[in-house]
Amino acid sequence: MTLQEEIQNGESRTLEYKATLPHDSQKWIKTIVAFANGAGGKFVLGVNNQREFVGLAKSVDLFELKDNIADTIGQMCEPQIMFDITAEMVGDAQLLIVNVFPGNATPYFIKSLGKENGTFIRLGATTRNADWTALEELSNRGRHVYYDEFACPSVKVEDEDIKYLCRDFSERAERKITRKDLENLNLIIGNKKDTATNAYAILLGKHDYTSRIQCARFRGTERVDFLDKKEYEGPLCEQIDGSYKFVLNYLSMAVEINGIVHKEKYELPHKAIRELIINAVIHRNYQMSSSVQVAVYDDRVEISSPGSIYGSLTLEEALEGRSSIRNKTLARTLEKIAVLEGWGSGFKRIFAECDEYGVERPEFLEIGDMLRVNFYRPSYKKNGDKSGDKAQKTAINSQIGDKSAINQNVGDKSAINYKDKILEYLSKHSEARSQDIALFIGLKQSRTKDYLSELVEDGKIVANGANRNRTYSLK
């Protein structure tokens, strides 16, 4: 993707632009720090908020500006941030690009503010102070250690729990798993191998009350009216099994006709659904006080996982098969017992399942410090059904083997485009309702509300009133 295309897609986790360099260095150095703490990024000068290439003033001495930027980064930031600065012409516009590389010595911070107050991270298109959870994770990354391998003093290693894990793991792996295997997986550590790790606690369901999966079936396409809800706690593998069955219970069955053979199958590939749930629990941030949420709507299955893409990986890179493991011990254990097939191959298997099934690939979105997956149901499109299915698996008299359009633009910046369209609409209207904005940007109201909530959280717009009377306006 060219720089012009990136900028037309709007600011993102790895892109920010300004017409000129702010006089207050802290206003832009925060973004440099945030890029270094994440997946890197480009800080571009010569582009205004309307994404117009206005260029730097001809009176600007590029060499002097480069030196000033480089000196400021070197003097204000710690540890040393790696970057380069290049000049580029786009038409008649002179741009200056600071390309920041992802760092290995996290956390990076502004020296004058100190590590606690001067560490910044990138959430979507915004730069924010790292809270204690983000700061702790950055510190672990910088030391090349993982939260799930740390000791969990609140959980005792007991014979009954060991027996349960060995029995359950043996059934899943179809081979005998012993206490020695648990020790080799670093689930139990210490000189006497009697200390539980966080991974051990998570696998047993004894880690924290938020280490659970919350499931719900909603009426329609918005998170308003519950038809059913259930929370799965306890051992992690049982949480995966339970939430997977919950989703299947609310999916329609389709009939595949092959000659005289009629075969019933779920409207969405069930293996892909299970893989998405496993990915959510493997890659979530267990230090955050949030749970994995699995919601079934009339039009989609939605899976939300606490924690953005881990480390220096971008969403696009993850979808292409690159892997960055947040919970190394957990992932290794689930791989050994055949619950997880292999690191970095999950998305590829999901996409292959969808292509073979003839359904749209899931949509992946980074929303603040959360990763969300939307898996759209073909039965909703075919039937136009806006009522809850009430757990009835209704046969659809269609041939599921016919291939539907598959979304090839998995890694696009659509979320950013929609946000920009919302801001554009509000710049022309003093206030507007969500349904009016949804009509303008061409999205369902439920998805529009997600973007509106993000913009409110980012401080770019304000919400006025409540419930049905709520309107939105620029801040």
Confirm whether 142 is domain-assigned: no
356 vs 396, higher pLDDT: 356
CA distance 325 to 332: 10
186 burial class (0-12, 13-18, 19+ CB within 10 angstroms)?
middle
CATH of the domain at 255: 3.30.565.60
**Residue 121 clears pLDDT 70, i.e. is over it:** yes
Sign, CA dihedral 223-229-231-232, equals negative
**In this model, does residue 390 exceed pLDDT 60?**
no
Q: Are residues 172 and 267 in the same domain?
A: no
Asked if pLDDT for residue 434 goes beyond 70, the answer is yes
Tell whether 273 and 159 lie within a shared domain: no
What is the average pLDDT score of the chain? 88
Do 298 and 433 reside in the same domain of the chain? no
Give the mean pLDDT of 203-224. Answer: 94
Same domain? For 224 and 346 the reply is yes
Residue 247 placed within a domain: yes
pLDDT, tens only, 294-308: 999 999 999 999 999
Cα–Cα dist 75/43, whole Å: 18
305-354 pLDDT per residue, tens: 999 999 898 988 888 888 889 999 999 999 999 888 765 567 888 999 99
Tokens 């230090």 found at: 287
β-pair type (395-396, 253-258)? parallel
CA gap 475, 431 in Å, rounded? 11
Considering its fold, how many domains does the chain have in total?
A: 4
Report, as an integer, the average pLDDT of 364-382: 88
Contact of 250 with 219, CB cutoff 8 Å: no
Q: What is the pLDDT of residue 256?
A: 66
Residue span of the structural domain in which 113 resides? 3-131
Half-sphere exposure for 405 (CA within 13 Å, toward CB): 4
Please spell the DSSP secondary structure of 46-95, one letter per residue.
SB-TT--B----TT--HHHHHHHHHHHHHHHEESPPPEEEEEEEETTEEE
